[in-house]
A and B are shown apart, each in its own frame.
Chain A
Amino acid sequence: MIKNLLSAGDLDRTDAIRILDTAEELLGVASRPIKKLPTLRGRTVVNLFFEDSTRTRISFEAAAKRLSADVINFSAKGSSVSKGESLKDTALTLQAMGADAVIIRHHSSGAPHRLAQARWTKGAVINAGDGTHEHPTQALLDAFTMRRHLVGSTGSDLAGKKITIVGDVLHSRVARSNALLLHTLGAHVTLVAPPTLLPVGVDHWPVETSYDLDASLEDADAVMMLRVQAERMNASYFPSAREYSRRYGLDTARLNRLPDHAIVMHPGPMNRGMEITADVADHVRSVIVEQVTNGVAVRMAVLYLLLGGAAGETEASEEGLS
């Protein structure tokens, strides 16, 4: 198993399936009366968030706590970082405090790589979203959700499944991580966006691309809608929010053109009425809320395998995982 989780591309098929299968086992913990395992007792996990993200932070926090780790939340706002402290000094401080894992969210692409490769911390580094680069645990929870609905069995991948990802791919770390992981798991990915929101060099990615959402719905097993940031709406990436919504938004008419088994996904938070209409967001085929639940299980699995794995699997299972 890898030491850090910096990119969805760090995971080979075996590692990815191992995480998904472990998450499958851990999902049950949430429904127990006492939602806690002793696996990471005595370990310290730091949530190092340089960028606001309540959803991701509490998901990681819940995951760590359910494994009995001690959790330190570090938010850049109001901290020494706002007084000009560098990432390096922050990391050295955390190292001095004995962090076993650092979960980092940062506005700068590559910040988790710097943290891991410059050896400012000895703990495992988990990328919780860096700039416009990647968000690997989001891709894992998405893959987990897809596998539950489209395949159903543990030990399997997503071979042959057709996944359509729609929206602002250019600025989306979710899209990058999904493109890599879904390819590793054997799925066919189509990225749909206006040409202004597809990155230069996307033709080198292991995906298909399309400018036409309607043409990409008929045989999709899952459709993932990406959030459109408000600041893009007046930056000439597209003429207007209305036009974007007409051409790339998911409404009931488009939903009805999907195959019956297809699911609708969104990493959240949603702009209802922009990339997705409210009725589609709340539709029975929408698994958006379930993605959140699955996120905790997947992050538990990642923490367990990166930290608990180091202590030896037998010990972990003795502590009651299986």
Chain B
Amino acid sequence: MSSYVIRGARLLGNDPVDIAFADGVITGIGTGLDGDEVIDGTGLVTLPGLVDLHTHVREPGREDAETVLTGSQAAARGGFTCVHAMANTSPVADTAGVVEQVWRLGREGGYCDVQPVGAVTVGLQGTQLAELGAMADSAAGVKVFSDDGKCVSDAVLMRRALEYVKAFDGVIAQHAQEPRLTEGAQMNEGPLSGELGLVGWPAVAEEAIIARDVLLAEHVGSRLHVCHLSTRGSVEIIRWAKSRGIDVTAEVTPHHLLLSDDLVRSYDPIYKVNPPLRSNDDVEAVRDGLADGTIDIVATDHAPHPMEDKECEWSAAAFGMLGLETALSVVQQTMVDTGRLTWEQVAQKMSATPAEIGRVANQGRPLAVGEPANIVLVDPAATRTIDARDTASLSRNNPYAGLTLPGEVVATFLRGRPTVRDRVLVTPLSTEGASA
């Protein structure tokens, strides 16, 4: 295996320095380093490989929308070296068998580590706990459990799940959506939903569940993670919960950082997502929450759908947007270029902390000698106009199509092997990661 050196890139956005790695491990950080292959990092930023806590890969079941392989490729292009695959596949990832299959497909693809998320309840039905322990004990070593797409709305079941996963240091990642308050919901509830005649998804339906769950987490002394938080009120509840010492973490998606509900005026289902795009005031609040640490991480909620599920009338369309290949650009535009976050903080929120929440040992590590060579090289000065066809994903439901975003991933290394070089995907040389 070759040794590499990235010359003169700004490590975590700080001063330029060389970084050398071989055999999957960082071997040197300094000046005048050498390697078999030298990459000119002038003007680029070095970050640790990104970790996504919230990806939908659609395999098994909807391989026309995305597979573990294509999802991994999209992830690599976005600078990710690890993604968590949500459980709402068909069959649902609620057994050791399914999670091991997804995990293995990821290793075989070799573009990034695919860490399965296990379902909290059997078939996401919200009535009976899935075999959480078996999934935790499986080869996939599942630590994150979620019925994402659906809310664990039964308070007793949620309490039991929070308690049960303590046995293996698991975390429940909740899709906070009070089901009765959101029956038939199509978009953010507000003046625009009334005007457009679309059933509203009120902020209180998210906030009520988050409020309940932080209190449950406190009561049973367990870890809670809140998926794709989207409203000002949710940020305030998390802030309060953290001030009380409750063990809660929260994520925000790139689309909730950038897009707002006025886009729905077009009735174009490309903007249909759950939770829905919120008001500009909510967008401002989640940016503030991410900047001040109330929101711990950015997670993509990458949700591929075939065109026929989006080229239709609004209410018939599927919820969800692509996100892996644009996440870093959106974060740069909304948080870095606006001075709200440094690149070092981006590394924290898109790599170290998500790996820590997911308890993924060899991802999200610092860029230091002896650490795994999971590295992404970013060109922050690049700008690109997003083209929905230019993607590794099998789907095209990209809400940023036509927008010009800053930043581009130049290279991604997974355990020292390139998955992206010179801004294009490269075939991994081997599947050496399969035993890792």
Instruction: Tell me the A residues contacting B by CB distance below 8 Å.
Output: 86-88, 106-111, 113-114, 117-118, 130-134, 173, 176, 199-205
From known contacts A87-B312, A88-B311, A114-B312, infer whether A200 and B193 are also in contact, taking CB-CB under 8 Å.
Answer: yes
Determine if B313 and A201 form an interchain contact, defined as CB atoms under 8 angstroms apart.
no
Contact of B435 with A by CB under 8 A: no
Pick the residue among B193, B268, B311, B314 that contacts A199 (CB under 8 A): B193
Count chain B residues whose beta carbon lies closer than 8 angstroms to a beta carbon of A: 24
Contact of B308 with A by CB under 8 A: yes
Contact with A along B366-405 (1 / 0, CB 8 A): 0000000000000000000000000000000000000000
Determine if B193 and A87 form an interchain contact, defined as CB atoms under 8 angstroms apart.
no
Cα separation A205 to B197 with both chains bound (whole Å): 13
- Tell me the nearest residue of chain A to B197, going by C-beta: A133
Which residues of the other chain, B, contact A173 by a CB distance below 8 angstroms? 197
* B201: min CB distance to chain A, Å: 11
Determine if A108 and B313 form an interchain contact, defined as CB atoms under 8 angstroms apart.
yes
Determine if A106 and B190 form an interchain contact, defined as CB atoms under 8 angstroms apart.
no
Determine if A110 and B191 form an interchain contact, defined as CB atoms under 8 angstroms apart.
no
Which residues of the other chain, B, contact A110 by a CB distance below 8 angstroms? 196-198, 267, 313-315
Which residues of the other chain, A, contact B194 by a CB distance below 8 angstroms? 199-202, 204-205
Q: List 7 A-B contacts (CB under 8 A).
A: A114-B267, A114-B312, A117-B267, A117-B268, A199-B194, A200-B189, A200-B193
From 347 to 379 in chain B, residues with beta carbon under 8 angstroms from any chain A beta carbon are none
Cα separation A176 to B186 with both chains bound (whole Å): 18
Contact of B123 with A by CB under 8 A: no
Determine if B191 and A200 form an interchain contact, defined as CB atoms under 8 angstroms apart.
yes
Determine if A132 and B193 form an interchain contact, defined as CB atoms under 8 angstroms apart.
no
- Tell me the nearest residue of chain A to B311, going by C-beta: A88
Not counting A109-B196, A114-B312, a sample of 8 additional A-B residue pairs whose C-beta atoms are within 8 angstroms of each other reads A108-B316, A110-B315, A118-B311, A130-B197, A132-B198, A176-B195, A199-B194, A201-B194
Cα separation A114 to B190 with both chains bound (whole Å): 22
- Tell me the nearest residue of chain B to A133, going by C-beta: B197
Contact of B200 with A by CB under 8 A: yes
Contact of B29 with A by CB under 8 A: no
Contact with A along B195-211 (1 / 0, CB 8 A): 11111101000000000
Cα separation A201 to B347 with both chains bound (whole Å): 40
Contact of B266 with A by CB under 8 A: yes
Q: Which 9 pairs across A and B sit closest by C-beta, in order of nearness?
A: A201-B191, A133-B197, A199-B194, A110-B267, A109-B197, A132-B197, A201-B194, A108-B313, A108-B315
From known contacts A117-B266, A132-B197, A133-B197, infer whether A111 and B313 are also in contact, taking CB-CB under 8 Å.
Answer: yes
Contact of B425 with A by CB under 8 A: no
Cα separation A114 to B198 with both chains bound (whole Å): 14
Which residues of the other chain, A, contact B186 by a CB distance below 8 angstroms? 109
Contact of B237 with A by CB under 8 A: no
Determine if A109 and B315 form an interchain contact, defined as CB atoms under 8 angstroms apart.
yes
Cα separation A132 to B199 with both chains bound (whole Å): 9
Determine if B189 and A88 form an interchain contact, defined as CB atoms under 8 angstroms apart.
no
* B108: min CB distance to chain A, Å: 35
Determine if B190 and A200 form an interchain contact, defined as CB atoms under 8 angstroms apart.
yes
Contact with A along B254-287 (1 / 0, CB 8 A): 0000000000001110000000000000000000
